[in-house]
Structures are given as C-alpha cells and as structure tokens.
Structure 1
Amino acid sequence: MPSSLRVLYAAGPGNVIGTYQHWSQQKDDPSQVSVTYSGQFFEVCRELNANAYVISSCRDKRTLRDGAFILEHRPIPFRKATGLLYHAGQIWYGLRLAITAVRFRADVAVVADGTTHWFMLSLLPRLGVQVIPSLHCVLWRKFLPMRKLEKTALRWGKRLFQRDCRAILAISDDIAEQVAMITHRQHRTISIFTPVYRREQFALLKPPDEARSPFRVLFAGRIEPEKGVFDLLDIAKQTRSLSPNIVFDLCGDGSALDALRQAAATAGLADSFICHGHCDQSAMRRRYEASHAVIVPTRTDFVEGFNKVVVEGVLAGRPVVTSAACPALSAVREAVVEVPPNDIAAYAEALVTLMGDRAFYQQKQQACLKLQDRFYDPKRGWAARLKTLLLTCKSQNYGASALQPEYRET
C-alpha cells in the first residue's frame, strides 16, 4: 500500500479525540465495552501507513493534529431540529464534508450513518474521492412506514448504494436487506461485520448467582423514551404482580433519567427499579456480574442499530430478552427470548419464565456460550473488512462487475 493513501473518516458522534489519546498510549477507550470503531480505524491507518482526517459530530468542538492524523470534532447544525431545518443541517454538513475531502486530497472517504444524507455523498466520486458508507443503523424504522421526507431522501440516496460507492459496510442482515430493497438488489458489494470485544473483558466474569434472590435484570443504554425505558417501568410493575423477587438495574444517562427515577418512586418501585446513571467499564462489569438476565426493550419508533448490549449480555453468559426491533437479534437468536415489539405483558412473562424455569434458563445460557467466539474474532470485525476495502481502493476501478444482485459477507 503506497504511503500516500489519504483517508477521510466521518465517524459519527463519538469522542474520537479522547479515543485517539487512549489509542496512542496503546489502550482501549475505557468509556466503551467493545473495541471502538475509531480505535479500529486508527489501527488500520497505522498498518497501511495512511494519512487520515477524522471528523466526529461530537458537540465538544476542537481539533487535534498528530503526525499522520488530523482529528476534528465538528457538530452537525440543527441536529435536534425537525422538518426542513433538520434536513438543511444535513445538507450543509455534507457540503462541508465534501470541501474538507477535496482540501485534504482524500483518496477515499469512509462515512458512518448519521453524518449527512446519503445522496450528498454522491458528490464525492465526482470530485475524485471514492466512498465507503458504513451502516450501523437501519435505514428506516423496520415496523413503521417511512415518513415522506425520509422516503424522498432514501430515494435520492439509492444511487450511492447502486453505483457511486466503492462498497458498503453493514453491521447486520436487517440493514443489508434494507439496502437491497431500496436498490432492487442492484447494489455494490455489502460486507457484513460484527462488533469486536476483548476476551479478557468477560473471561473472568462471575457466573449468575444460583440463589436468584433477587433475580436481577440489567438494562444498559441511553435513558430515552424510544429506548423503551418507560415500557421497562411498566414491565417492572407487571412483574411485581407476578413475582416480587425481580429487581431491575438500569445503567446509562439520558434526558429522561430524572423523570424515570421520579416515576419509579411514584409507582413505589424505587427499591426494585434502580437507575444507576452512567457506568464505566469497571462499573458495568459489576452490574453484569450481579445480573441474571439482560433486557433490551427498544421501541419500534426508534431507528435502531446493532444494539451491542444484546451481544454483551451473551458474552456475559446472561440470557437476553428483546424483540425484532433490535437488528442484533438475528446474530444471537438462540440465546435470546424473543417477544413481540412493544408488548409489555410478553416482556414480563419472559422474565418470569427465565426466573422460574431453570431448565429453560440453562438452555439459553448454554446458547450464550456457543455464540461467544465470533465476537472475539477480529477477522469478522469492522477493521478487517475496512482494511480489505482500502487495499483495493486504488487497484480496482468501478465497473458493472462490482454490482451485486445479493448482499454477502466477504
């Protein structure tokens, strides 16, 4: 690989400067349980001797230059707006991204979803920059019809997936299938990747307490209504009537944290519905060790990605209760108790069954053990897929042969 390869990476909203500072000291970012994508990107660039410009939409606006890396936190304007103002912010951000790519003389741009509308990236090939979209969320809410503007943006964006990108990275079959749907299965090669974890993160984790007194259920994620946290409170109310021995531990921060705590107190559940706030790696380890099961009650009105908590529950050897609203389900289905989306009663019944039926619990727990190795294998991860694509970016031209009638894992 020539040393002149220049890669622009639009990484999403994470603190890429913080992750870089940990990576430069040969450490993982302690704020995340999985190996971060930006950390993986830095490693690929080091291996390929590439120069990189990394842009995050993190609200902490700042820039860092260090050797072959330029890192910038560049917030997206009007990100919290609705309607036309939101779309104007997306378009403006896409234009600025294209200008940066040209000024940086980028050979290729790797762009995560949430950065700009996909149709804006079709500008880049016309400016001499190859594009690799990196899809971590479904393109639209799986169980709800698309909004009018959403449908229009995707209709305009399908050209990117059909012919204007070099290839597509996707984290789940659900996402790949949506790309296939909007392009009528005439799209660039889709390479499926999995999140990657360090085996030592879970290797010495204590097994679930056999006494099950109480039976502890763990939720980890943003405390937001669309993540199902108020549904979770309703689930706790129902399980209290079915079995008073179930305790819910919630780890995470968000705009609804105070309201959720107050609602739990009002419902008389403060002792069995505990909001711990943000938890770092060591705190999450303690919470996983104390837990018996993991719950992911994401609602259908949320554009979900590959919810890593589903995988982390499996790696911790804890059965997971979730629905098809989570694209991660298809990767670990054997270890999951699947319920219909948004069904409070079904979630409650699943937890009561896991608590009371030890044979069923052990069956799911054994399935967890069988599924774990794939998430410790870096060859299945984002970095390995990206490195393969970057190695071919300068040696292969676009052509009709690059179109694939079906997606596949490469």
Structure 2
Amino acid sequence: MATDQSGLTGVGRRPLRILHAVGPGDAVASYRHWKSDAVLEDETSLTYSSKYFSFCIGNGVKTRVVSCHPRREVVHDGAFVVENLPKPGSGKERGLLFHLRELAYGLCIVGLGVIDRADVALIDSGTSHWFVFALFRLFGIKVVCNFHNAVWPAGFPPKKPIIRLINRLNGFFLRYLCHACIGVSPECQRQAEQIARGPLRFIQYRAVYLEAPFADHTPADFSQRPFRIVFAGRVERNKGVFDIVAMAEKLNALRPDQVVFEICGDGSAFNQIAAEKAKHRLDQVVILHGRLRRPQLVAVYRRSHLVIVPTTSDFNEAFAMVVAEGVLMRRPVLSNPVVPACEVLAPAVVLARTDDVDDYVARILELMDDPDRYQRLCAACEDLRKPFFDPANGLGMAVATVLNDLFPGRLPLPPPRPSGPLAQIVALRKT
C-alpha cells in the first residue's frame, strides 16, 4: 500500500475531492484494517472499501468516507477523513417517520459535501432516497450513484404507492440530474434504467477475490453420498434458511439419509432454525455450524457437492458474493432469479423458482440423478473463476472510468482495463 497521502495530482492543480457515502458497515474499522496492511486468515476477497482507498491513494484524491454505522467516530488522516455518522432516530421508525429519517440523513450528507467543497459525491444505494442528492447540483457538485444493491428483489417490483412515488422521484433524478451510475450487476443496471425510463451512463464492476485461497480446490466426488449442500451466510428468514429446513424434510422423506444440509453462519433466526430442525427430527440432516473461521468453512466447502443461495422475494440482494465464492471453490450453485450473481455466473448455476420449496427439491433430485450435468456445471466454473481474480474488474475501475470522463486529465493514472465478459460490457457503456 502506498503511504503518500499529500493529495497532489500535478503541479499547480488542485486534487479532486470526493465525498463517498457508503452503507452501514464500520468505515473507520475498515480504514484502519486497510491502513495496517494486515492479512487475515479469514480474508478471501478485496473489500470494496480497500479498493476505493487504494484508488484514492494512487490518484492523489482527497476524500471523506461516511458510513451510517451506529458507532460514532471520525478519523482525520492526511487527505482522508473517514467517519461513522449514524442516522438519526432509533432505527426502528416505520412509515412516514422512516422516510423523514432517510431525508434528514440525506441532507446531512449534502451538507458535508458542501462543507468539503467536494467536486463529486459518490453515493451508495441505501444512503437515503436518491432524489435528495439533486441538491448537490445547486453547489456545482457532480453526483455518481453506486448501486451496491438491487432497488427491489428481481422480478418483484414494489407495489406500495409511497415506494412507487419515491421511485418516480428517484427516476427523474437519475435521468436528468445524476452524472453517472456504477453498480455490481446487470440487474442493478436494468432496475436503475427502468425507474429512470431510459438508458443511463452506467458502469458495472465486480467483487474481486484473492486467488491464493482458492487455488487448490478440486471438484467434489459426485458418487460420494450423502449429497452435501452448504449454505454460507446470514441466518435470516429472508435468506431462505427456513426454506432449507422444509427442503430437508421433504428430501429426507424421499431419499432417507441421502442429503445433508450444512448451514454456516449466524443471525437473528439461528435459534429458531435450531428449534425447527429439532421439531422435525432433522438433527442428522440439517447441521448448524454457526459462524466459522475460514479454515473450518473451507473444510465444509471441500466436502460439499453444491452451494445453495435460496434468498426469498422480500430481500433486494446485492451481488450475493457467496455465489461467486461457490464457483471459485469449483462448486455448482443452486439459487433463484432474485439473486443477481446468478445471471453473471449462469453456466455454473441451477435456478429454482423463487420461494418454491418443491421446485428446489426437484432441482436437487435432478442433479443427484444426473452425473453428466453435474460435471458440466463443475467444468463451467473454470472459465468463470478468472475475472474474479483480476483487480481491474473491481470498484476502482468503475470509479476511475467515471471520473476520467467527468474530469478529463485530472487523474494521473489511466482507468484499469477490465477483463473477461465485463470488458465488453464496459466498452459498450462508454460508447
């Protein structure tokens, strides 16, 4: 990691100033971790924040990074200001109070941009309602929207009148007042353009992983039984964990002792899932590991045949990195169209109907009975893996590409050239 934080971009030229509003993660802790150059055994991916910080260092950019993490803290470090700025209220507001809370926080972000005399505001989805940031235009601040999440669960657009009204306002902002958009998936782009009612200047990027942790993983032995299916992620209802228990019950009735689900992670539904599997006498069929350290999680992946990501229709996913991680482990993935990563990694993914336990069961049984198809899915993982190891496909590429267009000649380094399928997508959006 570079250590020069002077922010100089050239003789006599003021460095670019970026206000970057991120999600609810602990931005201060992320910055300290990045600054320390620490490499943790649990790390397999290059975090979005680390890619952004590295971009700023490499291009002499001054930045303020603001998260809405509830622990208030600010760090001033040369050209960087990193802070956790909680949203007002308790976080339990509903209805009108929720929307007022969002608007108030959005106004705070606008105020910070004005105070910093920012050249550009890079705003992550979920910061506030997008249309609030039209106010940046009054102060000559350009706005770039980062779609880190889908606007709604794919295939399930909102029906509530208030949400549809907000999306109309957001769409007007995106089409006429936002300077550019970036995002993690084709679905994010489609939804942004749907609410904008027209094409947008939209650059996609991808999660980027460290290659070493995935180097020596081989495909599973298909003939080995029981057929092991792994879930890795937050144990929440909207992540489909209760559907997993329902699948396990049906599969155990059809193929006793032939299928095992291993659930890795923790969350608010963990105890309920434990009670549910005990109620249905599935202790040997559904194994709850809780949150695992990386070596233990890798061991679960190694003995698995399939990764499952059964996100439900009431959750608007981001990219769903566990889908990519399954493919990097050379494991096929069973999921549904709500999960945006499935489109990007389609050759290695089996799709079930969203929220349909019976269809998941049918897809699992089909795969268990079709070794040739299973091997084709595993083989497809090889070519799909490569672009996820290329740093040029990450957030830094998207930010650099957009800023290079908005501020020609202001960045000392040219934007990285993405590789794989993303190279063609980015090239098309630049024309």
Decide which moves more: 138-147 or 324-333.
Answer: 138-147
Distance verdict in 2 for CA 1:45–1:145, change over 3 Å: closer
CA distance in 2: counterparts of 1:29 and 1:167, whole angstroms: 35
> What residue in structure 1 maps to residue 217 of structure 2?
205
Query: SS where residue 58 of structure 2 aligns?
Result: helix
Amino acid at match of 1:22: H
Query: SS where residue 126 of structure 2 aligns?
Result: coil
Decide which moves more: 30-39 or 356-365.
Answer: 30-39
> What residue in structure 2 maps to residue 298 of structure 1?
311
Pairs within 5 Å for 1:16-27:
16-27=27-38
> What residue in structure 1 maps to residue 263 of structure 2?
250
Unaligned runs of 5+ in 1: 397-405
Distance verdict in 2 for CA 1:84–1:328, change over 3 Å: same
* Corresponding residue pairs, total: 401
1:196-249 per-position Cα deviation (integer Å, ceiling 9, x unaligned): 111112112354245523322111121111111111110111111122221111
> What residue in structure 2 maps to residue 400 of structure 1?
none
CA distance in 2: counterparts of 1:280 and 1:112, whole angstroms: 29
Contact 1:214 1:247 survives alignment (8 Å) = yes
> What residue in structure 2 maps to residue 112 of structure 1?
124
Question: Aligned Cα RMSD in Å?
Answer: 2.1
Amino acid at match of 2:165: T
Q: Percent identity?
A: 33
Contact 1:298 1:325 survives alignment (8 Å) = yes
1:68-110 per-position Cα deviation (integer Å, ceiling 9, x unaligned): 2111112223544321111111101101101111112211111
Distance verdict in 2 for CA 1:234–1:213, change over 3 Å: same
Note if 1:38 corresponds to 2:38: no
CA distance in 1: counterparts of 2:39 and 2:405, whole angstroms: 28
Distance verdict in 2 for CA 1:283–1:275, change over 3 Å: same
Where in structure 1 do 4 or more consecutive aligned residues deviate above 6 Å? none
> What residue in structure 1 maps to residue 415 of structure 2?
none
Query: SS where residue 294 of structure 1 aligns?
Result: strand
1:263-282 per-position Cα deviation (integer Å, ceiling 9, x unaligned): 11111112221222223433
CA distance in 2: counterparts of 1:28 and 1:393, whole angstroms: 35
Unaligned runs of 5+ in 2: 1-8, 410-424
CA distance in 2: counterparts of 1:225 and 1:297, whole angstroms: 10
Query: SS where residue 71 of structure 1 aligns?
Result: strand
Note if 1:234 corresponds to 2:253: no
Distance verdict in 2 for CA 1:130–1:375, change over 3 Å: same
> What residue in structure 2 maps to residue 353 of structure 1?
366
Amino acid at match of 1:312: E
Query: SS where residue 209 of structure 2 aligns?
Result: coil
CA distance in 1: counterparts of 2:141 and 2:292, whole angstroms: 40
CA distance in 1: counterparts of 2:67 and 2:265, whole angstroms: 22
> What residue in structure 1 maps to residue 156 of structure 2?
144
Note if 1:387 corresponds to 2:393: no
> What residue in structure 1 maps to residue 81 of structure 2?
70
Amino acid at match of 2:47: T
Distance verdict in 2 for CA 1:134–1:29, change over 3 Å: farther
TM-score by length of 2: 0.88
Amino acid at match of 2:137: P
CA distance in 1: counterparts of 2:229 and 2:389, whole angstroms: 25
Note if 1:363 corresponds to 2:345: no
Query: SS where residue 46 of structure 2 aligns?
Result: coil
CA distance in 2: counterparts of 1:382 and 1:263, whole angstroms: 40
TM-score by length of 1: 0.92
Contact 2:154 2:339 survives alignment (8 Å) = no
Note if 1:155 corresponds to 2:168: yes
CA distance in 2: counterparts of 1:185 and 1:28, whole angstroms: 43
Contact 2:129 2:166 survives alignment (8 Å) = yes
1:289-309 per-position Cα deviation (integer Å, ceiling 9, x unaligned): 222110011111211221111
Contact 1:11 1:111 survives alignment (8 Å) = yes
Pick aligned residue for 1:12 from 4, 20, 23? 23
CA distance in 2: counterparts of 1:89 and 1:221, whole angstroms: 29
> What residue in structure 2 maps to residue 218 of structure 1?
230
Contact 1:319 1:364 survives alignment (8 Å) = yes
Amino acid at match of 1:242: L
Query: SS where residue 24 of structure 1 aligns?
Result: helix
